[in-house]
Every structure is written in structure tokens, then in C-alpha cells.
Amino acid sequence: MEIQQLEFLKHILQFKRHVYLDHNATTPVSGHVRRKMNQVLKNHFGNPSSFYGSGRKSAELIEQARQQVASAIHARPSEVYFTGCATESNNAVLKSVSARFYPEKRKIVSTPIEHPSVMSMLAYLETQGVMVEYCPVDGQGRVLLAELEQRVDDDTFLVCCMLANNETGALQDLLAVARVARRHGALVLADCVQALGKIPVDVHAWGVDYASFSAHKLYGPKGVGALYVKQDRHIAPWQIGGHQEGGLRAGTESLHNIVGFGAACQEVNQLLGHAQQTLPLKRQLMQRLKEIKPDCVFNSPEADEHCLPNTLSVTFPGVDNAGLMGMLDYRGIAVSAGSACSTGEATPSHVLKAIGLSDQSARETIRISLGRTTSARDIRYIAQVIQDYLEDRMPLVNMLTSAQLNERLLFDDGMFILDVRPPDDRKKHKGLPNSHEVSPVAVERYLGQLPRDKRILVYCPGGGLSLMVSYYLKAKGFKQVFNLRGGLDGWRQRRGDLYQKYAGQGVTVLQPDVPDGPR
């Protein structure tokens, strides 16, 4: 076989490989969970509120799942409520407890590293008059207990502190946090979403009053969460209608998802074993990364007892994370820049900033989160791809800065401008002049319309998503692909004059080559 053919074969094989290292974003549904869910979808359609046999069977399945979840978190079944997701669980507690205690007491104390489902609700509550104080964390993302002591006082009705951070894996001492809160008669909400299935969870032992969970983080289905409410603690209905979930969350239950969550919880002990097995793999990866780039910085806590075993946040000084992630994606590896929700946004992660990283360092950081099928081979593969990238052994996407994108380039006939922004961003801001809008999640449906003899400039709101698309186009043989660094947001800020003058002119909405439907 000729060298060229060998190279081609290598290229094909590289693209065949898929390595998923973003288990903190979500996990694949386990075989056991899928089987249980399929049984429900096939055999049990009765409405759990109906009195006849099939309804009663469905109600029984829900109670069984409730027991399974309760057992996994060490609670009583009567303390577990099913929700649509952990975001809902967090929102429900924050709203309900604020409505009950404010304005007799005025303050919530939280941390600056909470998930957006908490942070955004806290910001909303502030607009309603609630005082929110954020207790600082140390450089490893651990709550400074002495600072917490200073902030929690008799005016505090809630302390809201996550157990495990989704971006860095940092763990908090919930027992100590709850002790501080109790001393002042404050309640505690603990977001335990990332912990369940990775470290032991015991809500009773910690003495927290509320806790949130989500099935899709532990190999269960998406669209179902749980809320733990300690017996006799206040909680008001957050969805009003029928009597489901003790009258707190009206609406016919998502039976198959709830059963799926229960089934995922049945596997928790097994998952804890798997999670421990990811620790030596994470250590290997850290060692390799240090060899490849000695100045890389690990943002996850050093000590095993202070960090989720599967999570590694790493900063590569001088390396834009969007480019690195795009390249990893190009080679079949999924990692993320921060929480899944904020990927693609231009703003750097609030978690990384809270632990002391500059905006620049935050933009040079990726999160790698291992899962139960991660192998030593996967670790070697990602290390190799990172090394190839850092040593410039990869096909390059050209980067265009906001300053470089001037009138001449905008109206250059040899430049084809591709808009891969999500629809909501298109509603908010006009696009670059002469751009061509495609669906950002189905770029492959438009390939026939993209000119191979022109330079293609790809842009999105923040510059991350477009970079992934740029690498995809490179993989599809497009020779000259450019990515707008900082995206439209950056360009609007830097070149407000050009935006005002030209944005939205001559925009074409492309129709897919391949119509929608099963692929």
C-alpha cells in the first residue's frame, strides 16, 4: 500500500473513533435503565391517577421508583418528589422558601460557583428585594468556612451550597455548612446533582433541608429530576393543578422517566465503584498533560477527598479553548469548556473566575469528565490529540479577529460568510452583511451549497460553536476555512460602527440540501 493510502486510512480511522469525556454534561442511558423504561413504554400506559388496575400499576411503579431514589440518597420515600429536572428542583426551593420567609428574614447566603439554575434564580430574587450574599471560595473552589460564619446571621433564612461543582469537581463540606446554618436557624439547600453516582450521598447524615438531583447525570433519562425535602420542612406547590406529587407539582407524571430514574438509582453502588476506577485514569491523564505542556494548570482540587474522582479542569496557557475543543471534536473527542449550558457563550465561566482565573485563563480552560466506560486507551488518545494540536501537527482553521474583519473582507466576493448562530441569537441581533444562515445543529445538510473554491468565514455568537463547525468543514475537505474569534458579540463590541451600518444587509437563509426527516 502506498504511503498516501496509508495516510488516508489513518485519517478515516481517526474519524471513526468517538471518545466521550463530558460525563458531567450528561451520561448515556444504561442498558438496565433502558430495559426498565422500555417495559413501561410497552406495557404500562395507565394514568397513575386512575383507580382501575392499569392506573394502580403505574402508581405503584412511581412509588417503587421513589423508594429507589430515596434509598440512593438516604432519605425517606415520603421526602422525595419527582420533578422535570434539577433546574426545576432548585428553582422550586429558592422561590418557595423566599416567599415563606422574606421579608421577616431577608438574606440568602450562597456561593459564587453555583450552577446557573441557582445563580439565575438568585439574581431574580434579588430583583424582588431578597439580599443575596456570596461566600468566597479558595483557589480550589472550596467554601471558606470562616467567611461563611461571618455572612450567615439571624437575618439569613437560607444557605444554598452545592455539594460537587460541575466544572471543577470541587466538593464542599456540607456537614460543616449545615452546622453554620443551623446555628442561626437558617435552612440549607444542597445541589447534589453532580455527586449522585460519583460519591456517596447521605442527605440525612449531612442535615440538609433540601437537595436536588437529576437522572441524566447518572446514566438515567433526561427530563426527570428529584427534590428532597426533609420531613416537615416548608415547601409550597410550584405547579398548580391536580394532586400529583403530594399536590406540589401538578401534571400527569412522566412514568417511563421516573421509572428510569429509579432504575438508575438501583445501580448507584455499582456506579460508585466505577467512579473510583476513573481516579487512576484521571491521574494518568494529569501526568501525561504535564509532560506534554509543563505549564498547564489543574484547577480541580488536588486532594482526592476534595474532588469528584472523574472531573479534571485544566488550563493550557496560551491555548484558546475554543480551538482546542474544536480540534478534539474533529478527532471525535467530546469535552467541554465549562457547564454544558454556557458552552458557546462569549462570557468566561463564572466558576473559574470565582476561583481566581483571569478571563484569559478561563478561555484557555477545558473540562474533562470521565465516565464508567472510559478506558486507558481513551486517555492515551486524548493526550495524543492534545499533543498533536499543541505541536501544530493538525490541519489549521484560520482565525480572524474582530479588528481584522473590515469592510473589504465583508464585501469580498471570494469570501462566503456562514452564520451558524442559534435561532434565539438571530432574533436578538442582526447578522453580518452578505451572510448565509444555516441550522447550527445540521450543517451537514447544507454542504452542497457551500462553495469549495471560496474562503468560508464561519461565525456564531461567541466563537466556540463556529470553531467546531469550522473543523467539521475542514474534515469535509473545505480548504480555506476561517473562524471569527470572539464571534458576532466580539465584533459588535469592537466594530459597532460597521455593525450599525451594515448588519442584516443581504442576508440569505439557506434551505437544506437534504430535507428534514430521519437521517
Residues that are catalytic: 341
Cα angle 392, 398, 404; round to 5 = 135
Nearer to ligand PLP, 344 or 490 (CB): 344
Decide: 66 and 79 in contact? Cβ < 8 Å: no
Among 86, 93, 385, 457, binds ligand PLP (CB under 6 A): 86
Rounded Cα distance between 77 and 67, Å, is 5
Decide: 310 and 275 in contact? Cβ < 8 Å: yes
Name, in order, each residue with C-beta under 8 angstroms of 422's C-beta and a sequence gap of 6 or more.
344, 440, 460, 461, 465
Piece of 79-87, 284-292, 441-449, 488-496 that binds ligand PLP (CB under 6 A):
79-87
- Could you say which residues in the range 330-349 bind ligand PLP, by CB under 6 A? 339-340
Among 21, 29, 85, 417, binds ligand PLP (CB under 6 A): 85
Tell me the closest approach of the beta carbon of residue 220 to ligand PLP, in angstroms. Answer: 10
Rounded Cα distance between 263 and 257, Å, is 10
Nearer to ligand PLP, 98 or 117 (CB): 117
Among 30, 68, 194, 278, binds ligand PLP (CB under 6 A): 194
**Per-residue interface string for the shown chain with ligand PLP, residues 407-426, x marking contact by CB under 6 A:** --------------------
Residue 161 has a CB neighbour count (10 Å cut-off) of 26
Nearer to ligand PLP, 25 or 503 (CB): 25
Piece of 81-89, 91-99, 261-269, 478-486 that binds ligand PLP (CB under 6 A):
81-89
Among 169, 197, 221, 225, binds ligand PLP (CB under 6 A): 225
- 178 three-state secondary structure: helix
Place of cell 430535507: 515
Decide: 210 and 233 in contact? Cβ < 8 Å: yes
Rounded Cα distance between 43 and 314, Å, is 47
Rule CB under 6 A: say whether 110 interacts with ligand PLP. no
- The whole-angstrom distance between residue 131's C-alpha and the CA centroid of its chain comes to 27
Tell me the closest approach of the beta carbon of residue 120 to ligand PLP, in angstroms. Answer: 11
Q: Where are the alpha helices (DSSP H) in 293-375?
A: 321-330, 350-354, 359-362
Nearer to ligand PLP, 145 or 340 (CB): 340
Nearer to ligand PLP, 57 or 222 (CB): 222
Nearer to ligand PLP, 224 or 324 (CB): 224
Rule CB under 6 A: say whether 208 interacts with ligand PLP. no
Nearer to ligand PLP, 92 or 460 (CB): 92
- What sign results for the dihedral spanned by CA atoms 330, 331, 334, 336? negative
Q: What is the largest CA-CA distance in the chain?
A: 80
Number of residues that bind ligand PLP (CB under 6 A): 14
Name, in order, each residue with C-beta under 8 angstroms of 81's C-beta and a sequence gap of 6 or more.
226, 227, 228, 229, 245, 246, 248, 249
End-to-end CA distance of the chain: 34
Q: What DSSP character marks residue 340?
A: G
Tell me the closest approach of the beta carbon of residue 407 to ligand PLP, in angstroms. Answer: 42
Place of cell 474519524: 15
Rule CB under 6 A: say whether 117 interacts with ligand PLP. yes
**Per-residue interface string for the shown chain with ligand PLP, residues 290-329, x marking contact by CB under 6 A:** ----------------------------------------
Nearer to ligand PLP, 86 or 248 (CB): 86
Rule CB under 6 A: say whether 193 interacts with ligand PLP. yes
Rule CB under 6 A: say whether 371 interacts with ligand PLP. no
Rule CB under 6 A: say whether 160 interacts with ligand PLP. no
Rule CB under 6 A: say whether 214 interacts with ligand PLP. yes
- The whole-angstrom distance between residue 289's C-alpha and the CA centroid of its chain comes to 23
Tell me the closest approach of the beta carbon of residue 99 to ligand PLP, in angstroms. Answer: 21
Q: Please provide the DSSP assignment of 195-211 as one string.
A: TBTTB---HHHHT-SEE
Pair type for strands 435-437 and 455-459: unpaired
Name 508's bridge partners. 436
Tell me the closest approach of the beta carbon of residue 134 to ligand PLP, in angstroms. Answer: 16
Rounded Cα distance between 285 and 279, Å, is 10
Tell me the closest approach of the beta carbon of residue 318 to ligand PLP, in angstroms. Answer: 29
Rounded Cα distance between 18 and 338, Å, is 20
Among 79, 191, 245, 378, binds ligand PLP (CB under 6 A): 191
Rounded Cα distance between 382 and 236, Å, is 47
Rule CB under 6 A: say whether 457 interacts with ligand PLP. no
Rule CB under 6 A: say whether 115 interacts with ligand PLP. yes
Among 87, 311, 315, 361, binds ligand PLP (CB under 6 A): 87
Tell me the closest approach of the beta carbon of residue 114 to ligand PLP, in angstroms. Answer: 8
Among 70, 113, 159, 162, binds ligand PLP (CB under 6 A): 162
Pair type for strands 19-20 and 333-334: parallel
Residues near ligand PLP (CB under 6 A): 85-87, 115, 117, 162, 166, 191, 193-194, 214, 225, 339-340
